[in-house]
Chains A and B, each alone.
Chain A
Amino acid sequence: MGLTGIQIFKLLPKTNCKECGVPTCLAFAMNLAAGKAELASCPYVSEETKAQLSEASAPPIRPLAIGSGENVLKIGGETVQFRHEKTFVNKPGFAILVSDAMPEAEIENRLKRFNGLRYDRVGLTLRPELIAIKNESGDPVKFEALVKKVKSETDAAMILMSEKIEALTAGVKASSDRVPLIYSVNEGNLETLAGLALEYKCPLTVKADNLEALSGLAEKLMAAGLKDLVLDPGYRTLRRAFEDQILIRRAALLHQNRSLGFPTITFPCEMTNDPMKEALIAATFVAKYAGIIVLSDFRGETLFPLLVERLNIYTDPQRPMMMQEGIYPIGNPGEDSPILVTVNFSLTYFIVSGEIEASRVSCWLLVMDTEGLSVLTAWAAGKFVGDAIGTFIKKSGIADKVKHRQVVIPGAVAVISGDLEEELGPDWKVQIGPREAAHLPAFLKMGN
């Protein structure tokens, strides 16, 4: 580890064959150094070089996947400690816990919540990804039955939790095509579980009481040929669990410690009995640095704030979140409802649409593609100006939805009203709205 792009480049064939998907060997070398490419993409690299580079080119935190089909959870692959240094990439998965010792009705309700709680935001569906299945009964038959039930009734990525090897074996056999995560390896069961994970190609969790021991176990598993590991540093108090998350991330990134270069799993469900506090502990791990967060249970009020937090923290700081261009009806607008136009920076959209909702005046909100720039930035960049907005309004189709011909523009760009009126033609009237979204309710209630 620690080779620069140039050092890697010297070991490559330097033929610029493009078969790896980038135009030059140098670009490929740079991607390798940044952990954004795999050496396997180069068909011509020599075995010798491969050996030399495979260690150096692997990403510092192993990316891996749990689950199959539409709902594959990718975790790991992170390259920074602070999101502003680049971006966080793979959002931590949220798991709900079910146990084979729970009453049937409780299991049903949890599966129902898992399947039902989905939220649309910025064109994305926010949802939980995982179900952790716990073998509390100690009975492998019961465990296997629950694994099968979860598998057939949900698309969940699964975590199979048992202290019994027979139960884990039965569970893995019943669900290996779903690629479940096995929980967990310790000194005692290392060889057997390593064999199980290798045979069924499933990721495996390593649990130990301190980082030294954790690192030692992971090393043994790596030596046995396992690649996809998940780390559980055993502490269940907030302070120590938080500390271990930071130290693991740092060990992987700053010390290139391979045996801690894996995503982590955290258990807020084992850290408190209060569901509200559990959500706050989970909120801590969303920001600092879990790969998987296991919740004892969730409901709309606990899951939604966490999903939104996760979306926010994992937003790429170099790329603003954008809305799709188009007509957004707020409330139940009709042919007399006001038309407002704004930019497609998602934050602008959220704030403006929120204020319109608060006003209880139904409106048509026209969201124009300004490449995610805010109102003033887009105006300064020449993207949110009279002729561009006019063209957009005309082709948006809004004219077919309303009888009137009046459009409200943000007060901050009042200067463009003349240009816009010119572009729209004499039928249209341009009205200048408030400068701040917060003043929209008052503005709309005045009967505009």
Chain B
Amino acid sequence: MPFEIPRITYTGTIKKVTLGKGPKAVTIGGETSYPLYLFEGEMPHPPRIAMEVYDAPPEDWPETVLEPFRDVVHDPVAWAKKCIEPFGAELIALQLVSTDPNGLNRTAEEAAETAKKVAASIDVPLIIWGSGNADKDGDVLRKVAEVCDGMNLIIGPIVEGNYKQVGAGAIGYGHTVIASSPIDINLAKQLNILLGNLGIPDSRIIVDPTTGGLGYGIEYTYSVMERDRMAALTQQDERLQFPIICNMAKEVWKTKEAKASDEEAPDLGNPQKRGVLMEAVTAVILLLAGADILVMRHPEAIQLVREMISDFMAK
């Protein structure tokens, strides 16, 4: 049998979304084929990496990943700047963990001030990620949207329980939203429909499928993302044609395998390299499944994944 390249037919395109503003604005999306299948489609905007910044000093990070940020963990502005120079971040993701009602429970006002200070001191796009408590995020993200009027932030996670509250502010003050659903393609689609009905333009929506860590459910995220891209690209499911963001670093670094010291787990090899690789392997899996933005932490893992992306894109 003579060899004939088996091609498949794509009928859809992922929507383009531009994040931030000015010369450092970043556009994502626009894919016309499965992720990184560049032999039969286009990926006009390669996947990007956002570097994490926390609004309170982390308490449970292993030494290996705390070390690069030790001098800035008390100051989100300095932290964000360090991510950009020397680490070369193209986007920053500010994690508002201190607003968690089960933790420090800081107010929406405090959080919004922090967000504004960080946004004002950097020129790359800024993602604002709430604590994940839907009620509290409703207050916090609405306040952030208002205080940071016109700063073109990307705010989330927006869920079915708070989308009206946050979505209205996002439209009014000109931000992009992150529509978040719990590893379920139907719920993802439903929320995208609701956001559209609310009046949020398609060019201002990105999707968070919920990310599981390596060894802790990543296969669920992987398959839901593959199904999502399949529906978007080959089944003309217009309400799933949005770029995908994976907030992955916190899932990787909270696992015992990423944290374990040499003495605790001698068979797991060098703790520093192991942590970096667990984060980078997670990133590669998510890239293959269709991530447009990866929220990452360790500078070495980020460097490795950047090289992988450029190797995938190389002609």
Interface residues of A (CB under 8 A from B): 82-84, 116-119, 121, 211-212, 215-216, 219, 237-239, 242-243, 246-247, 250-251, 254-255, 257-260, 276-277, 279-281, 283-284, 287-288, 299-306, 308-309, 311-313, 315, 317, 347, 350-351, 354, 357-358, 439, 442
* With known contacts A84-B226, A238-B312, A347-B217, A301–B270 Cβ distance under 8 A: yes
- Chain B residues whose CB sits within 8 angstroms of the CB of A117 once the complex forms: 267
Q: Is the CB of B308 within 8 A of A277?
A: yes
Q: Is the CB of A283 within 8 A of B281?
A: yes
Complex Cα–Cα for A315 and B215 (A):
11
Complex Cα–Cα for A276 and B302 (A):
12
Is B82 part of the contact surface with A, judged by Cβ < 8 Å?
A: no
Q: Is the CB of B304 within 8 A of A317?
A: no
- Chain B residues whose CB sits within 8 angstroms of the CB of A358 once the complex forms: 60, 254, 256, 259
Is B168 part of the contact surface with A, judged by Cβ < 8 Å?
A: no
List 3 tightest A-B contacts by C-beta distance, closest first: A300-B269, A301-B269, A301-B274
Q: Is the CB of B219 within 8 A of A83?
A: yes
The total number of A-B Cβ pairs within 8 Å is 159
Complex Cα–Cα for A317 and B222 (A):
11
- Chain B residues whose CB sits within 8 angstroms of the CB of A216 once the complex forms: 3
- Interchain residue pairs with CB less than 8 A apart (7): A239-B313, A242-B36, A243-B37, A255-B6, A300-B269, A304-B267, A351-B216
Partner of B268, one of A212, A300, A357: A300
Complex Cα–Cα for A312 and B217 (A):
7
Complex Cα–Cα for A419 and B273 (A):
49
Q: Is the CB of A309 within 8 A of B223?
A: no
The 8 A CB mask of B274-315 against A (1 = contact, 0 = none) is 101110110011001000000000001000110110011111
- Chain A residues whose CB sits within 8 angstroms of the CB of B314 once the complex forms: 237-239
Complex Cα–Cα for A239 and B226 (A):
19
* With known contacts A280-B281, A301-B269, A305-B281, A239–B6 Cβ distance under 8 A: no
- Chain B residues whose CB sits within 8 angstroms of the CB of A215 once the complex forms: 1, 3
Complex Cα–Cα for A250 and B222 (A):
20
Other contacts beyond A276-B277, A317-B219: 14, CB < 8 A: A82-B226, A83-B223, A84-B226, A119-B267, A211-B5, A212-B2, A238-B312, A246-B39, A280-B308, A299-B269, A300-B265, A302-B269, A309-B218, A313-B285
Is B38 part of the contact surface with A, judged by Cβ < 8 Å?
A: yes
Is B165 part of the contact surface with A, judged by Cβ < 8 Å?
A: no
Q: Is the CB of B214 within 8 A of A305?
A: yes
Is B257 part of the contact surface with A, judged by Cβ < 8 Å?
A: yes
Q: Is the CB of B270 within 8 A of A246?
A: no
- Chain A residues whose CB sits within 8 angstroms of the CB of B268 once the complex forms: 300-301, 304
Q: Is the CB of A276 within 8 A of B3?
A: no
Question: Considering residues A84, A216, A302, A358, which has the most beta carbons from chain B within 10 angstroms of its beta carbon?
Answer: A84
- Chain B residues whose CB sits within 8 angstroms of the CB of A250 once the complex forms: 6, 8
Question: Considering residues A219, A237, A250, A309, which has the most beta carbons from chain B within 10 angstroms of its beta carbon?
Answer: A309
Is B4 part of the contact surface with A, judged by Cβ < 8 Å?
A: yes
Q: Is the CB of A304 within 8 A of B274?
A: yes
* With known contacts A119-B267, A442-B102, A239–B312 Cβ distance under 8 A: yes
Q: Is the CB of B307 within 8 A of A299?
A: no
Q: Is the CB of A238 within 8 A of B308?
A: yes
- Chain B residues whose CB sits within 8 angstroms of the CB of A82 once the complex forms: 223, 226-227, 230
Complex Cα–Cα for A354 and B270 (A):
20
Question: Considering residues B60, B281, B312, B315, which has the most beta carbons from chain A within 10 angstroms of its beta carbon?
Answer: B281
* With known contacts A238-B312, A302-B269, A312–B215 Cβ distance under 8 A: yes
- Chain B residues whose CB sits within 8 angstroms of the CB of A305 once the complex forms: 214, 274, 277-278, 281
- Chain A residues whose CB sits within 8 angstroms of the CB of B3 once the complex forms: 211-212, 215-216, 251, 257, 260
Interface residues of B (CB under 8 A from A): 1-6, 8, 36-39, 60, 102, 212, 214-219, 222-223, 226-227, 230, 254-257, 259, 265-271, 273-274, 276-278, 280-281, 284-285, 288, 300, 304-305, 307-308, 311-315
Partner of B4, one of A255, A300, A313: A255
* With known contacts A82-B226, A243-B39, A247-B6, A312–B277 Cβ distance under 8 A: no
Complex Cα–Cα for A303 and B274 (A):
9
Complex Cα–Cα for A338 and B284 (A):
39
Least CB separation from B217: chain A residue: A347
- Chain B residues whose CB sits within 8 angstroms of the CB of A350 once the complex forms: 215-216
Q: Is the CB of A246 within 8 A of B37?
A: yes
Partner of B273, one of A118, A301, A312, A439: A301
Least CB separation from A84: chain B residue: B223
Partner of B102, one of A116, A243, A315, A439: A439
Q: Is the CB of A354 within 8 A of B277?
A: no
Q: Is the CB of B1 within 8 A of A279?
A: no
Q: Is the CB of A300 within 8 A of B267?
A: yes
Least CB separation from A214: chain B residue: B3
Q: How far apart are B32's CB and chain A's nearest CB, in angstroms?
A: 16
Q: Is the CB of B226 within 8 A of A284?
A: no
* With known contacts A239-B38, A442-B102, A276–B269 Cβ distance under 8 A: no
Complex Cα–Cα for A82 and B254 (A):
29
Complex Cα–Cα for A277 and B212 (A):
22
Q: How far apart are A131's CB and chain B's nearest CB, in angstroms?
A: 19
- Chain B residues whose CB sits within 8 angstroms of the CB of A300 once the complex forms: 265-270, 274
Complex Cα–Cα for A303 and B60 (A):
25
Complex Cα–Cα for A280 and B314 (A):
16
- Chain B residues whose CB sits within 8 angstroms of the CB of A312 once the complex forms: 214-215, 218-219, 222
Q: How far apart are B5's CB and chain A's nearest CB, in angstroms?
A: 6
- Chain B residues whose CB sits within 8 angstroms of the CB of A121 once the complex forms: 215
- Chain A residues whose CB sits within 8 angstroms of the CB of B254 once the complex forms: 354, 358
Complex Cα–Cα for A305 and B285 (A):
11
Complex Cα–Cα for A251 and B5 (A):
7
Complex Cα–Cα for A426 and B312 (A):
64
- Chain A residues whose CB sits within 8 angstroms of the CB of B36 once the complex forms: 242
Q: How far apart are A400's CB and chain B's nearest CB, in angstroms?
A: 28
Question: Considering residues A215, A287, A303, which has the most beta carbons from chain B within 10 angstroms of its beta carbon?
Answer: A287
Partner of B216, one of A283, A287, A347: A347
Q: Is the CB of A299 within 8 A of B311?
A: no
- Chain A residues whose CB sits within 8 angstroms of the CB of B269 once the complex forms: 299-304
Least CB separation from B258: chain A residue: A305
Least CB separation from B221: chain A residue: A312
- Chain A residues whose CB sits within 8 angstroms of the CB of B280 once the complex forms: 276, 279-280, 283
* With known contacts A215-B3, A304-B274, A238–B37 Cβ distance under 8 A: no
- Chain A residues whose CB sits within 8 angstroms of the CB of B4 once the complex forms: 255
Q: How far apart are B263's CB and chain A's nearest CB, in angstroms?
A: 13
- Chain A residues whose CB sits within 8 angstroms of the CB of B227 once the complex forms: 82, 84
Complex Cα–Cα for A89 and B144 (A):
48
- Chain A residues whose CB sits within 8 angstroms of the CB of B311 once the complex forms: 237-239
- Chain A residues whose CB sits within 8 angstroms of the CB of B274 once the complex forms: 300-301, 304-305
Q: Is the CB of A288 within 8 A of B6?
A: no
Q: How far apart are B226's CB and chain A's nearest CB, in angstroms?
A: 5
